[in-house]
Amino acid sequence: MLDIPSLLRVDVVAVTAAQIDMGVCDAIQRNAPVEEPAAMSAPHLPKVAGIDPTVPVPAHTAEPLPGLPTPPVAPGAMIQDRLAGWVSDLTTLHELTERLVRTGTLDEALQELLRAGAALVGARRGMAVLEPADGLGPTTTIGLGLAHADLGTIETVPRGATSYGRILDGLPGEPLSGAPSARRPPAPVAVPDLFADEGLDPRHREVAARLGYAASYAVPLATDASGRLGAAVWLYDEPAEPGEGRRHLVGLYGRYASEHLARLLELERGRARMATITEELLPSRLPRVPGVRLAARHRTGARGGGDWYDALPLPEGALGLAVGSVSGTGPSALAAMGRLRASLRAYAVMEGEDPVAVLSDLELLLRLTEPARSATALFAYAEPAHRRIVLAGAGHTPPLIVGERRTEFVETSLSAPLGMLACWEAPSVEITPEPGETVLLHTDGLLRRTGESMDRAFARLHAAAVTVPGADRKDPGAIADHVLRTLLPDGGTGDEDVVILAARFD
């Protein structure tokens, strides 16, 4: 039993909670506190755990006078220093992982990984390469303190000659106990002095001299379930390498970051698959009908919604325009959207001159085949030669007319969505666009992504349409793009799909 002085107070609860939160209990099992890196090359080190490292550490003791004995160190002070070091390391990891978990995309996570790793190993620049071992992508390269041209210059070095390239190319790790054929992920690769290495690749030497780095430290990004995801490397301006304690910290952080990257990778792949399926279900091209020009814009939500659009030529030079939204998200909503769109095309060919009849048939089909699902839809029967449009909507947002003399919403009758009433029916509306005017059909995802109330979102949509430049009013695609840029400059918030179908009448 250690005799610890009463002046030494240790908050064991705080330390234990930090261990549980961070999953780094092995840090406590180490016999020495984390030391500083052997040599730090960065002139301005990044901040760690809210501490500005550019401020010099004050000297707590002066140099002893020659000949005088050094006073003994109390055992309690030694234990207190160790515990303070452990708590500081845990606090640092906790803060860094909290910032990491708030990232929602792969690029954001890789940028945060580079910033945190630079703070831990004491470097100023770095590069992260995402290259999943399964070859399914996506692949990307992100730099910290390196311009795009610098990244391209580094990539001209033969990959096997770089520290991160050795990891990506399958540098073998240690075999797992009990499974000789299975191996651990590659170990970190430290190159403390590039120019002292006589076997350094000449191209690598040239690039390092041009960009001004003299050492590197690379770590693998891998998980047990997903395998290799990529690698991260930090570059030192002068010969240096992180100490053992710093390597341990960045290793713990790297394992946590790899798990987070694996989750984001699965989400990104899921979104890509949903977007591909959605694009396959939507029209591959818009028809060409005399007297009208068409343009469509579609943005898939993060979870894959059921918004859709359609434009099909009808007999006697007529044109059918439709937009709609199916409730729900995911594959089931996409399948329902595909069935609903195909059915509407059939009804439009048979009785397109009466939009109310088309939506009534669609409502009956929805109640019989999808009793637990609802949908909104708007169908317009257009005669471009006469600039005449007859439309009907079922719980859908009204279209917008954009012209030189007016920008206004079409007044449609209020109606419930399809599948919510035993028998749906609502009166149709007839409009006559002027020459050069554009009719914008859209889904409510365009409004919901603004993150504001519907009244406010409608007002912003109207304002965006009013500010369309005169040169863009002749192109329906340019009008749709302007509305999207103005209303959703950063993509907006939420997971809803966005659909715009623009028809400009000559």
Provide DSSP, 364-423.
HHHHHH-TT--EEEEEEEEEGGGTEEEEEEES-PPPEEE-SS-EEE------PPBTSSSS
Q: How far apart are CA 115 and CA 145, in angstroms?
A: 10
Q: Rg of the chain over CA atoms, in angstroms?
A: 32
pLDDT (mean) for 286-301: 92
Look over the chain and give the mean of its residue pLDDT values, rounded to a whole number.
82
Instruction: Decide if 83 contacts 241 (C-beta within 8 A).
Output: no
Contact residues for 368 (Cβ-Cβ < 8 A; gap 6+): none
Average pLDDT over residues 131-157: 93
Q: Is 184 helix (H, G, I), strand (E, B) or coil?
A: coil
- Please tell me the total number of residues recorded for the chain in this structure: 506
Which pLDDT score, from 0 to 100, does residue 229 have?
94
Which amino acid would we find at residue 108? E
Tell me how far apart the alpha carbons of residues 167 and 162 are, in angstroms, rounded to a whole number. 9
Q: Average the pLDDT over 46-52 and give the result.
A: 43
Instruction: Sort 148 into a burial class: Cβ within 10 Å, 0-12 / 13-18 / 19+.
Output: exposed
Inform me whether the pLDDT recorded for 370 exceeds 90. Answer: no
| DSSP count for the chain of H helices, then E strands | 12, 17
Residue 72, pLDDT score: 62
| Residues above pLDDT 70, as percent of the chain | 80
**71-78 own/partner pairs: CB under 8 Å, 24+ apart:** 74/5, 75/2, 75/3, 75/4, 76/4, 76/5, 76/7, 76/8, 77/8
- Side-chain-side CA neighbours of residue 59 (13 Å): 4
Per the confidence metrics, is the pTM higher than 0.75?
Answer: no
DSSP assignment, residue 106? H
Q: State the Cα–Cα distance between residues 24 and 255, nearest whole angstrom.
A: 11
C-alpha distance across the termini of the chain, in Å: 93
Chain mean position to CA 441: 28
Alpha carbon of residue 172 to chain centroid: 31
What's the rounded Cα separation, in Å, for the pair 31 and 245?
11
Please report, rounded to a whole number, the percentage of residues in the chain having pLDDT higher than 90.
Answer: 54
Rounded to whole angstroms, the Cα distance separating 339 from 335 reads 6
Residue in the structure block whose two tokens are 């240790």:
10
pLDDT at residue 78 is higher than 80: no
What pLDDT sits at residue 329?
81
Which conformational region is residue 23 in: left (phi greater than 0), alpha (psi within -120 to 50 degrees), or beta?
left
Task: Identify the structural domains of the chain with CATH numbers, from first to last.
Answer: 24-49+83-173+183-271 (3.30.450.40), 282-505 (3.60.40.10)
d(CA 396, CA 384): 23
Longest dimension (CA), the chain: 111
pLDDT on residue 74 = 63
H or E element, residue 335: helix 331-351
503 has pLDDT over 90: yes
pLDDT at residue 75 tops 70: no
Provide the pLDDT for residue 147: 94
Residue type at position 373: R
139, pLDDT greater than 90: yes
User: What mean pLDDT is predicted for residues 209-232?
Assistant: 94
- For residues 441-453, give the mean pLDDT: 91
Q: Give the DSSP letter of residue 449.
A: T
Q: What is the mean pLDDT of residues 35-55?
A: 43
Judged against a pLDDT cut of 70, whether residue 36 lies above it is answered with no
Residue 196: how many CA atoms within 13 Å on its side-chain side? 9
Helix (H, G, I), strand (E, B) or coil at 427: coil
Task: Answer yes or no: is pLDDT of 310 > 60.
Answer: yes
Q: How many CB atoms lie within 10 A of CB 403?
A: 18
